Structures are given as structure tokens and as C-alpha cells.
Structure 1
């Protein structure tokens, strides 16, 4: 039961926090740099699949071990942030390597955002699961 609570909590926190970040930081930055490449409305299914899979990976490698071995929330944040950095870094550095209008500012901002977002969401998910189950 605590695993399901942690997954749902992590997923919902991820969506809510990312909505704010995308709306006020990432989208305006991307619009200035690569507006001609952007869709007017994002594709919901691919976005949902990425979020669902990333949260599952974080659950597998971070949240489940934290719930069974009572790891600290600092451990959860750091471990999940590392996964976030790998996921967002793959996207950002690949784009920077192959797309002419991709900028270092896009890389740094989105990489930092994804790293923080993943660490924060996992930490919140584990904390919520611990509160609900205890």
C-alpha cells in the first residue's frame, strides 16, 4: 500500500510542480530560443508516458528502497535528483549536440529544473507515504 501511495503522491507532485515550472520558466525560455520548433499545444500522451515512466524508475531505484530500508529524505532527494539529471541531461545534451538553435542557457536551465523537480517530487512522495502509513 505504501508503494502505491508513494507512486501516486510522487506523480501528482511532479505534475503540479512541473506545471508551474513549465508555465513560468521553461516555456518562456524555450519560446525565446526555439519558438518556430514548438507546437502550439503540447502532445499529452508522450508527456504522460514520460512522466509515468520516470516516476516508475525513481520508485524502483529510490522510493521503494527508501520505504523498505528507512533511508533518509536527503538520500531520497540526492538519489532521485541524480536520475533526474540523467533523464533531463540526455535530452538537453543531445539537443545541444545536434540542433543549431539549442543554447547553453536551455541546457543549464532545463537540466537544473529536471534535477530539482525529480529530487523534490520523490522526496515529497516518500514523505507523504511515510505519513499516511504510519
Structure 2
């Protein structure tokens, strides 16, 4: 079950986050914290993040939601997991990096919450449709 859930959540997360990063918020991050951004992405680190984060969604959110047969659990636990994990990143950056703005912190924290809740809920419904 775990690998199937992972295989469902991975493309869902990637598609939604790439839409956000590549289209919706691309100019936002550059305008807010452009001096902190690398000119080229470290894809190894980015891919490792995605793999680990999605494993967290499956372990802490999606599998329990499937066991409970509750899309509401997927939604709210996903929101909580996204909030806590993105808060760790954003608030640490706000505390330690010159030029990391409160605006970026709040927008990114909201995004992480919505993203993770959405991925967990969409993945839940896909998993149910395929009998996982």
C-alpha cells in the first residue's frame, strides 16, 4: 500500500508545486528574495526534498487517512503537516537569513499548508478510485 500511495502522491505534488513555482509565484520569489536565490537550481537537493517530503505525506497523512477512510483526515492532517513543515523552513529562514522577508514567510507558509492539504486530499481520492 505504501508504495502505491507514494506513486500516487509524487506526481500530484510535483504537478501542483511546479505550477506554483514555475508559473504562479515565479516572479514573486525573485522580487522578494532574489538576492538569496541561486542562478541555477541544485536539482539533486530539490529531488531529495521532494522524495523525503512526499514520504512524510504518505506516512503521516495519507496512509492514516486511507485506514480511517476519511478524506477529511487527509485534508486537515495534510494542512497541519504542511503548516508545521513549511513553518520549520520559513521561520528558520526568517530568523537566520538577511533579506528573507516576512511577506515571503507568510505567503510560503500559506502555500505549504494549501499545497500539502491539496496533495493529500487529491491523492486520497485517486487512491480510493483505484482501490488502494
The verdict on a shared fold, with TM-score over 0.5 as the criterion, is: yes
Alignment partner, residue 16 of structure 1: 15
Alignment partner, residue 45 of structure 1: 44
CA distance in 1, matches of 2:27, 2:9: 25
CA distance in 2, matches of 1:39, 1:61: 31
Alignment partner, residue 124 of structure 1: 122
TM-superposed CA distance for 1:30, in Å, is 1.7
CA distance in 1, matches of 2:50, 2:79: 15
What is the TM-score normalised by the length of structure 2?
Answer: 0.91
Q: Which has the higher contact order (CA 8 A, sep 6+)?
A: 1
TM-superposed CA distance for 1:32, in Å, is 0.8
Alignment partner, residue 111 of structure 1: 109
CA distance in 2, matches of 1:24, 1:34: 17
Select 1:84's aligned residue among 79, 82, 85: 82
Q: For structure 2, which runs of at least 5 residues remain unmatched after alignment? A: none
- Determine helix, strand or coil for the equivalent of 1:133: coil
Give the paired residue count: 132
C-alpha distance after superposition, 1:99-121 (max 9, x if no partner): 22111110011111111111111
CA distance in 2, matches of 1:89, 1:59: 19
Q: For structure 1, which runs of at least 5 residues remain unmatched after alignment? A: none
